[in-house]
Amino acid sequence: MKIPFTKMHGLGNNYIYIDLFHTDLPEERLSELAVKMSNPNTGIGSDGMILIHPAEKAEVGMRIFNKDGSEGMNCGNGLRCTAKYVYETGIVNTKEFSIQTKANVVHAIVKVNRDKEVEEVTIDMGEPILQREQIPMLGEAGTKVINEPFQIADEILHVTAVSMGNPHVVTMVDAIDEAPLTTLGPIMEKDERFPEGVNAEFIEVVSDEELHFRVWERGSGITEACGTGACAAVVAATLNNKVTKGKKVIVHLAGGDLVIEWKEDDHIWMTGGAETIASGIFYA
């Protein structure tokens, strides 16, 4: 099987994008294809696979598969790259349009240069979900998880849990370079208190306008950036009174910066770059 692909990244969080407006893929092979394409030795090498497809509730649809073949519900960096792809290939011909994910329908705005290339994308990511059972996280239903003690290995962390359509658990640390990413990240991802697994983020609050951020992603491990994670981080910092709702926050990720604003109407806006790396044919 020959599959046309485009590899793109948002701040180093890189996926293989397949355009299902112009190609077909069998549903039963999607998970296996994500694993194959992501392998850097026998595939292309990536954090996973993203499908761009016609949708019922929006102009465009997007599905995300992690490196391990599991399907995620949402992907912030993937949304910005999808927006760039559909604008530059003419699938949409307006600078504002909607994208449907498995989690929700979001609104995208592209900033375009004189060569008609998308330079920056802003997404209205919708509202965060804070109810424990909707993260989902075990414990007393109807409560929120804000700065909650969380024993893991021999340590007690204080965690805040946020869903951006996908689950995130955010821990504040004093120094980002000392975040226990490789030691606790994989344990938190699979902790039984998160029945669907979780994306684990560590943040260092620099000021009420600036955070450092590192992530261990569910299904992919350490990545250079996570858009939904950056949104969750700003929500967590706000709930812990470290930043102010309605103010823009610069999130410094390993692969670059995102600007995140949790607006007074509860919607979270994310602005950042999206880049095309290569395109070609994958022989599956």
Q: Which of 33, 34, 37, 75 is catalytic?
A: 75
- Is residue 13 annotated as involved in ligand binding? yes
Verify binding: residue 82, ligand LBFN2T5F, rule CB under 6 A: no
- Is residue 280 annotated as involved in ligand binding? no
Of residues 131-170, which lie at the interface with ligand LBFN2T5F (CB under 6 A)? 166
Whether residue 22 contacts residue 98, with contact meaning beta carbons closer than 8 Å, is answered with no
Smallest gap from Cβ 172 to ligand LBFN2T5F, in A, equals 20
- Is residue 241 annotated as involved in ligand binding? no
Residue partners of 50: CB distance under 8 A and separation at least 6: 15, 16, 17, 18, 62, 63, 64, 65, 75, 78, 81, 82
- Provide the Cα torsion 82, 84, 90, 94; round to 10°: 100
Whether residue 233 contacts residue 249, with contact meaning beta carbons closer than 8 Å, is answered with no
Verify binding: residue 75, ligand LBFN2T5F, rule CB under 6 A: yes
**How is residue 138 written in tokens?**
């075990």
Distance from C-alpha of 201 to C-alpha of 181, rounded to nearest angstrom: 8
SS3 124: strand
Distance from C-alpha of 133 to C-alpha of 145, rounded to nearest angstrom: 10
Please pick, from the candidates 6, 66, 82, 122, the single residue that binds ligand LBFN2T5F as defined by CB under 6 A. 66
**How is residue 179 written in tokens?**
């975040």
- E-strand ranges in 131-195 read 148-152, 155-163, 167-172
- Is residue 160 annotated as involved in ligand binding? no
Verify binding: residue 14, ligand LBFN2T5F, rule CB under 6 A: no
Verify binding: residue 220, ligand LBFN2T5F, rule CB under 6 A: yes
Verify binding: residue 228, ligand LBFN2T5F, rule CB under 6 A: yes
Smallest gap from Cβ 133 to ligand LBFN2T5F, in A, equals 17
Q: Which stretches within 133-261 are classed as H helix?
A: 181-189, 227-239
Distance from C-alpha of 281 to C-alpha of 55, rounded to nearest angstrom: 24
- Provide the Cα torsion 162, 164, 167, 172; round to 10°: -40
Closest C-alpha to 160, from 175, 148, 151: 148
Verify binding: residue 218, ligand LBFN2T5F, rule CB under 6 A: yes
Smallest gap from Cβ 230 to ligand LBFN2T5F, in A, equals 8
Smallest gap from Cβ 229 to ligand LBFN2T5F, in A, equals 6
Is 226 a catalytic site residue? yes
Smallest gap from Cβ 219 to ligand LBFN2T5F, in A, equals 5
- Is residue 183 annotated as involved in ligand binding? no
Which range of residues in 19-27, 98-106, 121-129, 220-228 is near ligand LBFN2T5F by CB under 6 A? 220-228
Q: For ligand LBFN2T5F, which is the closer residue by CB, 72 or 185?
A: 72
Residues annotated as catalytic (active site), given as ranges: 75, 226
Q: Which residues are annotated as part of the binding site?
A: 13, 66, 76-77, 166, 199, 217-218, 227-228
Residues that bind ligand LBFN2T5F (CB under 6 A): 13, 64, 66, 72, 75-78, 166, 199, 217-220, 223, 226-229
